[in-house]
C-alpha cells in the first residue's frame, strides 16, 4: 500500500518548517524508544539514526537557504 504524504511547492520558509517538524517527530520517536530500551546495541543504533537525521536536516537547511525560489517536495509512504 502506498500513499502520498507530501506533494507540492513551498516557499523556503515553509519548506524548512515542514521538514524540521517531520524530522523532529522522527527524532522524538527514536528518543522515546531509547528511554525504554534495555539493549545497548539498540540505543547506539537509534543514536546514530538521530545524528544522521540531524545532519541531513542541516544539509537541507543550507541548501534551501541558498535559494530564493519555491521548493517542490514529494514524499511517498510505502507500506509492505
Residue 66's pLDDT is what? 77
Domain, as residue range, for 61: 2-78
What is the SS3 assignment for 57? helix
Instruction: Measure the CA–CA gap between 53 and 47, rounded to whole angstroms.
Output: 10
* pLDDT tens digit sequence for 39-68: 999 999 999 999 999 999 999 999 998 777
Instruction: Measure the CA–CA gap between 33 and 43, rounded to whole angstroms.
Output: 8
H or E stretch including 1?
none
Instruction: Measure the CA–CA gap between 33 and 80, rounded to whole angstroms.
Output: 22
Structural domain tally of the chain?
Answer: 1
What is the SS3 assignment for 29? helix
Residue 25's pLDDT is what? 98
- pTM value is 0.87
Amino acid at each position: 500500500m502506498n500513499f502520498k504524504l507530501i506533494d507540492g511547492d513551498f516557499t523556503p520558509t515553509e519548506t524548512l518548517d515542514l521538514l524540521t517538524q517531520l524530522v523532529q517527530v522522527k527524532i522524538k520517536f527514536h528518543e522515546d524508544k531509547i528511554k525504554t530500551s534495555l539493549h545497548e546495541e539498540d540505543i547506539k543504533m537509534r543514536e546514530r539514526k538521530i545524528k544522521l537525521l540531524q545532519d541531513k536536516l542541516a544539509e537541507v537547511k543550507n541548501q534551501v537557504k541558498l535559494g530564493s525560489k519555491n521548493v517542490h517536495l514529494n514524499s511517498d509512504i510505502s507500506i509492505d
